[in-house]
Amino acid sequence: MKLSTEPYKGVRDFYPHDKQIQTYIFNMWREVVEQYGYVEYDASVLEPRELYEAKSGEDIVNHETYSFTDRGNRNVTLRPEMTPTVARMIAQRQREIVFPARWYSIPNLFRYERPQRGRLREHWQLNVDLFGDESLTADKEIISIGFNILTRFGVNPEQFEIRINDRRIVQSAFAELGLDEETSYALQKLIDKKDKISDFAEKAEALLGKPFEYNPEPNQEIVEIIKQLKKDGISNVYYDPTLMRGFDYYTGIVFEFFDKHPDNNRSLFGGGRYDNLLDIFESKRISAVGFGAGDVGIQHVLETYKLIPHLQRSTIGICALTIDDIPKTESLATEMRKNGCNVAINTSLKKPSTLLNWSEKSDNRFTLFIGETERMNSVITIRENIKKKSITLPESELISWLKKA
Ligand code: HAM
């Protein structure tokens, strides 16, 4: 039996064009967060399982992780999220790190989910986290970065909305209902899933023993942050007391960004404040706020609104027409590379139309042919693949022409 060429369920292969789109997304993420002074970190995909048992939440640990026992009997998990890892790293070097610390990363994460539009088993996620600043300004910065990322991609603020809540509102509303810790936790998880289940009201009533009424007013922090964001020109922020977020470590504001288009009904970004997560380590208290934004969702948004630009490579394809042209093709390519050009050679000696097809399909920006005329007269013909236009130059002017182009 021959093997299947399909990738493993729920993960993607990135053919060169797919990778080019992903790189475009990553570059935009980097550009925006670095403008706010965030520095990049990274870590291994492997973590001890206990890291997630502490405060991520039982759903993710028991149902969504890829976990295994290694040959030394250790429980290992492929990271399903980056927050526990970054908290571990900050806690480990807490004495050397100067605060406020602004860190970002673009890790691949693994979750054993039912693959569906917008949810896969491996995705890449921009993580932007600010440590050691408890102020509302920090919360505001984190939300503003998310807003700026979307608008820099060309998404119109009318096309998305930011829903915001505060875990403290939820806690005090549940306390007013007189719920014990266990029921509160179960209710929070139920509300988190309300859009995915059809019998939410019945389930809530069964849990509480009475119909569930829940309409808490926003607290001072929520009112203030919405007001301040509006002042900065960010007015698509809405208070939503049913926004829970799945992870147990959040302690203050929580938020999610949603595309309003019905095809993309899952959150694009999600985050919040988690001031106690570092307590799971031997650490002083370090406050933190941040978010994660996945590559799958953002790509769907860019496709939906036709916002992916034509991504051209800078490569120059240089083709020899006869066997006598190969040395010149190679030496010219070397010279061009020394001058900073990206050059791919083709010495297959196929017919010119085939060579041109190779150069165009490889997404090369220019095609150069080296034949007898070029060799004898020291001239070069450059074809711009997209415009399908050619120009002939003295060879001595080639490099300066390319530099200008
Ligand atoms: P999260 O809400 O689980 O948060 O994920 C954040 C974003 O990652 C989601 O809004 C979505 O875009 C994307 N995402 C999550 N799971 C998948 C999946 N299976 N397939 C495709 N995309 C996915 C967290 O992970 C928090 N640790 C974020 C955070 C950072 N909070 C504070 N700092």
pLDDT in tens, 185-241: 999 999 999 988 999 999 999 998 899 999 999 999 999 999 999 999 999 999 999
Ligand 1 cavity residues, CB under 6 Å = 81, 83, 111, 113, 119-120, 123, 125, 127, 129, 267-271, 290-294, 296-297
Q: Whose CA is nearest to atom 30 of ligand 1?
A: 291
Confidence label for 56 from pLDDT (cuts 50, 70 and 90) = confident
Q: In b/e form, how buried is each residue of 129-160, taking b as 16+ CB within 10 angstroms?
A: bbbbbbebebbbbbbbbbbebbbebebeeebb
CA-to-CA separations, 382 to 276, 324, 341, 385, in angstroms, rounded: 61, 20, 14, 9
Q: What's the whole-number mean pLDDT along residues 45-49? A: 97
φ, ψ of residue 235 in degrees (nearest 5): -115, 10
Given a cut of 90, whether residue 55 has pLDDT beyond it is no
pLDDT of 340-392, one tens digit each? 999 999 999 999 999 999 999 999 999 999 999 998 999 999 999 999 999 99
Chain CA centroid to CA 162, Å = 17
Shortest-distance atom of ligand 1 to CA 113: 19
Q: Whose CA is nearest to atom 28 of ligand 1?
A: 292
pLDDT of 261-291, one tens digit each? 999 988 999 999 999 999 999 888 999 999 9
Nearest to 42 by CA among 146, 147, 133, 125: 125
pLDDT of 171-186, one tens digit each? 999 999 888 989 999 9
Residue 54: the pLDDT is 83
